[in-house]
Chain A
Amino acid sequence: MNIIVLVKSVPDPAAKVGVRDNKIVEDGLAWEANPYDENAVEEAIRLKEKYGGKVTLITLGPKRAEETLKKMLALGADEGILVSDPAFEGSDELATARILAAAIEKAGGYDVIWAGWTGVDWNQGIVAQAVAEYLGVPHVSFVTKFEVNGQTARCETEVEGGREIIEVDLPAVLTAMQTLNEVRYASLKNIMAVKRKTIPTWGAADLGINPAEVGKGAAHHHLMKLIPPPERAAGRVLKGAPEETVQELVRALREEVKVL
């Protein structure tokens, strides 16, 4: 079984992200794999362990994303491909999906494509589904359980207030929820094996993509302004006798905070 996983390098979710000139400040920011992508990689490795085959990770991003790719390879994936080109910078979700779809086609045959259900950086949750459209294969989102039955797969997914069971034809694109599995630790052997692996970088020319059709210039939407959340105001301590402070608290909740 050939499995492809889309892995995104995102800022450490625990880090405080600064904003300058409508961009996040990257200096000193630690980059990690998108947490849900880790579940996707884990599931792919489990499938390989069960059915044999190969797990290929594909990351679209700048050169620094290679570190994230290596960390995910150390979980036990076979190959990693960095898709990187200055022409790709500023691509919107559709262009990103187009580039990734081209990379998947170039990587060769696939039975299953996994991705995290959303990226914790911009939180759009669009790319994986768009990749499926470009590839002309079905997709199932928010997968929490996955079983292969020959040419189809049974997926359990989370929906508001319940679960859905979906049977999907393979190949398909699937997106992973955190509850899909528990991600293993990187093993020392795999960490050392990654050191010996070469990670190819594929650019626009390698993928046969016209640079004019991707990147910032071709985006359908544009970031106009990036505003950091306001600093949290200091809290207010109500002082006085309980009868008065309770009245003041109720008044403030009603009139100032407007939650009552």
Chain B
Amino acid sequence: MTSDINPRAEQYRELRDPMRDLCAQFDSHYWQAVEAEDAYPEAFVRALTDAGWLAALIPEEYGGAGLGLTEASVILEEINRSGANSGACHAQMYIMGTLLRHGSAEQKARYLPRIAHGELRLQSFAVTEPTTGTDTTKTKTFAEKRGERYLVNGQKVWISRVQHSDLMLLLARTTPLAEVRKKTEGLSIFLVDLHAALGHGLSVRPIRNMVNHETNELFFDNLEVPAENLVGMEGQGFRYILDGMNAERILIAAECIGDGYWFVDRARAYAGDRIVFDRPIGQNQGVQFPIARAYAAVRAADLMRYEAAGLFDAGRPCGPEANMAKLLAADASWEAANVCLETHGGFGFAAEYDVERKFRETRLYQVAPISTNLILSYIAEHVLDLPRSF
């Protein structure tokens, strides 16, 4: 009998089993080859898309599976648990949420079925700018209305998967900061057709980075966006973005949980097999205690993840829980990554063990999509009523 260190593995078996079957076809060799070539895991993303997994959150009326966030989170958890990295495609699952919640009936009918079907990839969202970081209301990229179109000028950074997307959402100021009553007003969201935009006002410069993750700098130079591509009401874009953040945090937390279990699994297997001084290294408390502690942290974070996802699915406020789930899960996966690397000793640094790759990948969750410190600020200010620190 194969025992699973995740006691919830029996829950959502109907999702976990087929996900595990699919992910098993993309094994260690596959991911190492993709990594070695710095390539996009196209075959993996295609298989996920064709089987409809990335359309989990799209309502059935638009051709998706209409699942809840808890179930969607299980899907991403299993991707990371398998040794893969959801980062290549998770955004296809949730970026459409902005369109779903705030797009016009015509926009939804036009795009959502094709996104659900996998014909169109909407997995980029251009928000962050070089000089504003998380201070989103200071967004400088400006979209000026000229008749039936907007002219966009500005710059974005850390915009992922642009080269593997057909569509991108863009946040831009439509009213200058100096002219709005509240700084959160005057920001708008646009749907950008990347094929039409590239070379016609949009240029993309890839950023080489610590992991095999396609992310870019974007430069907008009089990019024309049809007025019909405005999502929701002009000036309300900031609110629309906030709407999607809790979902994103819960999904990312689940990816961290998948990583956490992967690291603990690998660490315990290696500690049990590796014989030094005539006994398995896992017999030493100095080796086993950190693994046990990391496991406990993953389990605890997983509880917060399910709590947050449950609240979200019930339509109840879940900001604190979603943020804490992301914080705890990212910390737990990072602790597990360290322990796993430590347990493997020198072999942990060898690419063929996958540990160093996953180690680098899970490190990102401390920083993106929201840094740990900003979550702590959120908890201090919004949950504990402490004075705002920035």
Contacts and interface: CB of A to CB of B under 8 A. Distances in A.
Interface residues of A, number: 17
B44 to A, nearest CB: 11
Interface stretch (A106-114, A138-146, A186-194): A186-194
A128 B133 CA distance: 66
A151 to B, nearest CB: 34
Interface in B1-44: 1-2, 14-15, 17-18, 21-22
B119 interface: no
B65 A192 contact: yes
B56 interface: yes
Interface string B34-77: 00000000000001001111011000000001110000000100
A189 B65 contact: yes
Contacts of A191: 14-15, 18
Interface in A65-99: 70-71, 74
Contact of B18 (A27, A30, A185): A185
Contact of A188 (B2, B47, B65): B65
Nearest to B55: A188
Interface in B331-386: none
B1 A28 contact: yes
A185 B55 contact: no
Interface in A35-59: none
A189 B60 CA distance: 9
A123 B50 CA distance: 34
A185 B65 contact: no
B32 to A, nearest CB: 22
A195 interface: yes
A185 B17 contact: no
A185 B67 contact: no
Given A185-B22, A189-B65, A195 B14 contact: yes
Interface in B74-111: 75
Contacts of A28: 1
Contacts of A27: 1
A186 B51 contact: yes
A189 B1 contact: no
Given A71-B17, A74-B18, A188 B52 contact: yes
Given A28-B1, A192-B65, A185 B15 contact: no
Contacts of A71: 17-18
Most B C-beta atoms less than 10 A away, residue of A28, A70, A188: A188
B52 A189 contact: yes
A188 B56 contact: yes
Interface of B: 1-2, 14-15, 17-18, 21-22, 47, 50-53, 55-56, 65-67, 75
Given A185-B22, A185-B50, 11 more contacts: A29-B1, A71-B18, A186-B18, A186-B51, A187-B52, A188-B53, A188-B55, A188-B56, A191-B14, A192-B67, A195-B14
10 contacts: A28-B1, A29-B1, A185-B22, A185-B50, A186-B21, A186-B51, A188-B53, A188-B55, A188-B75, A191-B14
List the 10 closest A-B pairs by CB distance, nearest first: A28-B1, A188-B52, A186-B18, A185-B51, A187-B51, A187-B52, A188-B65, A185-B22, A189-B52, A188-B53
Interface of A: 27-30, 70-71, 74, 184-189, 191-192, 194-195
